[in-house]
Amino acid sequence: MLVNMNDVLLPAKEGKYAVGFFNAVNVEMARAIIETAEELRAPVMVGTAEVLLPAMPLERVAEYLIPMAKKASVPVCVHYDHGLTFEKCMEALDLGFTSVMYDCSTETYEANVEKVAEMVGICHAKGVTVEGELGHVGDNEGAGKLENPEDYFTNPDTAADFVNRTGIDSLAVAVGNAHGDYKFPPKLDFDRIETIAGRTGLPLVLHGGSGLSDSDFRTAVQRGICKVNIFTDIDKAGKAGIEEGLAAGASSMMGLIPYEIEAMKKVVRNKMELFGSVGRIPMQTE
């Protein structure tokens, strides 16, 4: 069933577990994510991000994700992540996405507040939820790498003001996490997570989830993280599945698809178990 972010994150906050958000830039990824959620009776969030649109345009993503979410036997929120421009967020809204992240975290604080509050007003009028980011989650490599990440950590006092002034539904925090592959083991500020959760009262979001340890995930969820973003891990798993299929003698794309999907499903299954979202949706009865 197609739902918005509050439908899955508010129960997660109450139940002290987290919901996985997995980017799906093709149908195989979408199948791996949604089929696993159904098998495990887990709520899930699925979608894409603006940086991933060169791989699959937003309109094409909507064409397969929205119908798949509607047909699913578990709650599926279709989320547009890290929307960097107002125009693309509006496109996602028009295409039927039920949740958007408007990432203005590199703007000044007042510009971030003003732009996100405007987005919230537009989206809430349509029953669409909004995620904001305060502080800045950088990259492990490339142009977005931060020299001193702690300078960009989310300030708990500012977070409370940001939430009150914007009306967002969830808050992405910078607490030592980063996008992409971690070159060194990250050190998350769990006390900061707990403090922000207490002062804002909102479900918190951890970006850059791929590569964190099992212990990191469990502790972050215990302290207030309700949504964890995963892409790199399933992306790499899909590639590994194709390589396994080739080694096993698969000689066509059709022959490789089952290997690709199964490899990604293993990652999704593992994350859902770690986040504690397995079994949260009762089995359907006739």
| Residues classed as catalytic | 81
DSSP 151: G
Q: How far apart are CA 170 and CA 162, in angstroms?
A: 11
The two structure tokens encoding residue 229: 């973003």
Question: Which residues, other chains included, contact 134 with Cβ-Cβ below 8 Å and sequence gap of 6+?
Answer: 105, 112, 154, 155, 158, 159, 162, 171, 172, 173, 174
What are 129's strand-pairing partners?
Answer: 99
Q: With contact defined as beta carbons under 8 Å apart, do 227 and 205 qualify? A: yes
Q: CA angle, corner 66, sides to 64 and 69, nearest 5?
A: 105
Helix residue ranges, H only, the chain: 5-15, 27-40, 58-71, 86-95, 109-124, 156-166, 190-200, 214-223, 232-247, 253-275
